[in-house]
Amino acid sequence: MENYRVLNCITGLNFGGAELMLARFARKLGETAYSPQVLSLMPPGPVGDLLERDGVPVASLGMAEARITLGAFARLPSSIRRTDSDLLHGWMYHGNVAASLGALAIGRLPVIWSIHHSIDDIAAEKRLTRMLIRLSARLSRGTAAISYCSRVSARQHEALGFDPSKREIIPNGIDCTEFQPRQDARQRLCSMFSIPPERSIIGNIARAHPMKDHEGFVRSLAQLRQEGHDVHGLIVGAGHEEGAARRLARELDIDDRLTTPGPRSDIAEFLPGLDVFLLSSAWGEAFPLSVGEAMACGVPVVATDVGDCNWLIGNDEMISRPRDPVGQAAVIGRILAMTADERRNLGLAGRHRVVGSFSLEKYTESHIRIYEAAIDNQHRRRGMQ
């Protein structure tokens, strides 16, 4: 069986949904005929360590900021040539553009893009992001395929000029052996974060960013406290130690009911210990990895109606409007009022849905299919020359 080298181009390798998806995908891809490598535009963060631990080579352009400068562009072709890759796979806007520009600079290699963002209102995006999206729309015709992790995201990007003929819907894949129910997870979680075990723990995993609406998460927590529920919030991710959620918790006098430990790499060990996972995002989500991971762990999930959350969860009763913390608190309250068996069955139904439809194996198989098609097309074009 012939082996092929795939170079994955990504903005950076700090903790984030797309970055972790790449790490898990690369580990799985390494078991196939496709050998993964990674080029980070920015200096590698902690996800780079995870990749190298799994034997995936990681290189960097060393960009100080997430933008393609003239200096970085000058280094890009030689960085790609050194990998001797057969195919380029971009991740997110910066990585996608870098993959396409790199392929143009060194002679056409097949390029696959991955889109992990939804665009409810392009005016809400940063100026640089808007520029990249418009540039990407022009470059999209030169790709072999565009992998969208969300159906909603595909429609939104195509409305902005992305080539619809390149569409591939490949929802994020969950490693259901890593993320699964664990009997000791509750005790581990409470011990790890010093949370009183009698409290119902509502969790969220995401970096601090306005689109995640962690202030809404805190307001839902306060509403549940007001209704008499003995709840505790846990937000895991970068930027929360003195972020907006922490400040609001102090204002609402529930500071002792919120734990913000920063980013962590051991999510699978304590995630199954949550009583409810709450996705409070106001916009920008496509197919949130954290939601699928919580479901795989058998944790009931409540989410806003953003991106493809409704499709992922598959239960309208668990979906609420964005920026509606009172509505989200009402859904959580109904779950907390269930018996232990009812909550367990609700969580297990979510796990069965992820195992059946959104596994890492399916994600990998789907990408191998478009890799094969891209390389076959490249060979046919060369044969015609």
- Domains in the chain with CATH codes: 4-173+359-384 (3.40.50.2000), 185-357 (3.40.50.2000)
Specify the length of the chain in residues.
Answer: 385
> For residue range 93-127, what is the model confidence (pLDDT) as tens digits?
999 999 999 999 988 799 999 999 999 889 888 89
Quote the pLDDT of residue 98.
94
Residue 385 has pLDDT above 60, yes or no: no
Residue 88 has pLDDT above 70, yes or no: yes
Band (128; pLDDT cuts 50, 70, 90): confident
Quote the pLDDT of residue 383.
65
- Residue 87 CB neighbour total at 10 angstroms: 22
Is 160 exposed, middle or buried (CB count within 10 Å of its CB: 0-12, 13-18, 19+)? middle
Q: Which residue has the tokens 């306060």?
A: 222
Residue 73 has pLDDT above 80, yes or no: no
Q: Tell me the whole-structure pTM to 2 decimals.
A: 0.90
> For residue range 16-42, what is the model confidence (pLDDT) as tens digits?
889 999 999 999 999 999 999 999 999
The candidate with the shortest Cα–Cα distance to 159, out of 133, 197, 191, is: 133
For residues 64-76, average pLDDT: 71
Quote the pLDDT of residue 68.
59
Q: Letter for the amino acid at 24?
A: R
For residues 160-179, average pLDDT: 97
Is the Cβ–Cβ distance between 291 and 318 less than 8 Å? Answer: no
* CA dist., res. 54 & res. 23, Å (int): 9
Quote the pLDDT of residue 67.
58
Residue 384 has pLDDT above 80, yes or no: no
> For residue range 295-351, what is the model confidence (pLDDT) as tens digits?
999 999 999 999 999 999 999 999 999 999 999 999 999 999 999 999 999 999 999
Strands, sheet with 319-320, edge to edge from the N-terminal-most edge strand? 258-259, 231-236, 200-205, 276-279, 301-304, 319-320
Residue 70 has pLDDT above 80, yes or no: no
> For residue range 220-267, what is the model confidence (pLDDT) as tens digits?
999 999 999 999 999 999 999 889 999 999 999 999 999 999 999 899
Band (64; pLDDT cuts 50, 70, 90): confident
